[in-house]
Amino acid sequence: MALILLPVPIGEADPTWMPPVVISYYRTLEFFIVEQVRTARRMLKAFDPEIDINRITFMELDKHHQQDPVQLLAPASAGHSIGLMSESGLPGVADPGGFIVAAAHRMGIQVVPLPGPSSLMLALMASGMNGQDFRFHGYLPAKKPALFQAIQNLDREMNRYTTAHLFIEVPYRNESLFQAFLEVLSPDTGLCLAVNLGLTGGWVRSQTIRAWKKELPPDLHKQLCVFAVGKLL
């Protein structure tokens, strides 16, 4: 059968974020590979309060890849489709699950990606930066001087190319990363903050470093934030 890559709402488990085809898979699949069983169960109930959770087999994903993917995919080898869920957004994109997908390809199991929300793509859409040439880096180094050196290298590259660069950070380090961008990046470089996308009160703001420095810093502490850096078009 197939490995179904299931998008998950960003923030609240609101089914209006999901295409009907995704909801139909959530209602009918009997096997799921998930990051956390507790939140996966809650998500399924939000999609369909009448769903019989007891008929579903959940297999919890080890983020450190210390599992045999062949075992996790055993139901597919036996003729059942399996849903792969992350905690938020798209599985395998800034989330664990890629090694399961790779194993499915090796085993000849069909892989079916389904459409849904991605905070990275939403941030890029709203950034005013180059949507045809972009790069997601994940995390920058956590501490100076490696952090400043990485941003300096990025700034030099942006003097030559219009590539948009996307980053994420653990929520308690958002403010220190924001300040590092202000200290190191050139005044005309664009910086977009996409905060709490998919949540009530979420917002996106994109302007130059020079403009950011003229304002009081936004409250980013423990917020879900995507940073985009690049030339504003």
CATH of the domain at 144: 3.30.950.10
Q: Are 20 and 96 within one domain?
A: yes
Copy the structure tokens of residue 209.
């470093």
Asked whether 40 and 85 are in contact (CB, 8 A), the reply is yes
The CATH number that applies at residue 64 is 3.40.1010.10
Provide the number of structural domains found in the chain.
2
Q: What angle do CA 222, 18, 226 make, to 5 degrees?
A: 30
Last residue of a domain, one of 81, 113, 145: 113
| Residue ranges of the chain whose pLDDT lies below 50 | none
Q: Is residue 155 domain-shared with residue 96, that is, in the same domain? A: no
Residue 37 confidence (pLDDT): 94
Owning domain of residue 199: 119-230
Judgement on whether residues 13 and 78 belong to the same structural domain of the protein: yes
Instruction: Give the pLDDT confidence score for residue 14 in this predicted structure.
Output: 66
Residues 16 and 50 both lie in one domain: yes
| Residue that terminates a domain, selected from 88, 113, 138 | 113
Residue 62 and residue 118: Cα distance in Å, rounded?
Answer: 22
What's the token pair of residue 64? 């450190």
Same domain, 84 and 132: no
Write down the pLDDT at residue 48: 86
Helices (H) and strands (E) in the chain, counts: 9, 10
- pLDDT at residue 13, as a whole number: 57
Whether residues 42 and 125 share a domain: the answer is no
Question: How far is it, in rounded angstroms, from Cα 44 to Cα 34?
Answer: 12
Beginning with the edge strand found earlier in the chain, give each strand of the sheet holding 134-138 in spatial order: 134-138, 164-168, 225-230, 190-195, 203-208
Give 23-56 pLDDT, tens digit per residue.
999 999 999 999 999 999 998 988 888 999 999 9
**Tokens 């609240």 belong to residue:** 12
Residues with Cβ within 8 Å of 5's Cβ and at least 6 positions away in sequence, in order, are 84, 90, 91, 92, 97, 101, 111, 112, 113, 114
Task: Give residue 96's pLDDT.
Answer: 84
Q: Are residues 169 and 129 in the same domain?
A: yes
pLDDT at 166: 98
Tell me how far apart the alpha carbons of residues 133 and 55 are, in angstroms, rounded to a whole number. Answer: 45
Do 36 and 124 share a domain, yes or no? no
Distance CA 227, CA 170 (A): 12
C-alpha 191/C-alpha 210 separation (Å) is 10
pLDDT at position 111: 97
In sequence order, what are the residues at sequence separation of 6 or more whose Cβ sits closer than 8 angstroms to the Cβ of residue 118? Answer: 7, 89, 90, 93
pTM over 0.95: no
Question: Do 88 and 8 touch, CB atoms closer than 8 A?
Answer: yes
CA dist., res. 188 & res. 167, Å (int): 19
What was the pLDDT predicted at 12?
Answer: 67
Helix (H) or strand (E) holding 84, with range, is strand 82-85
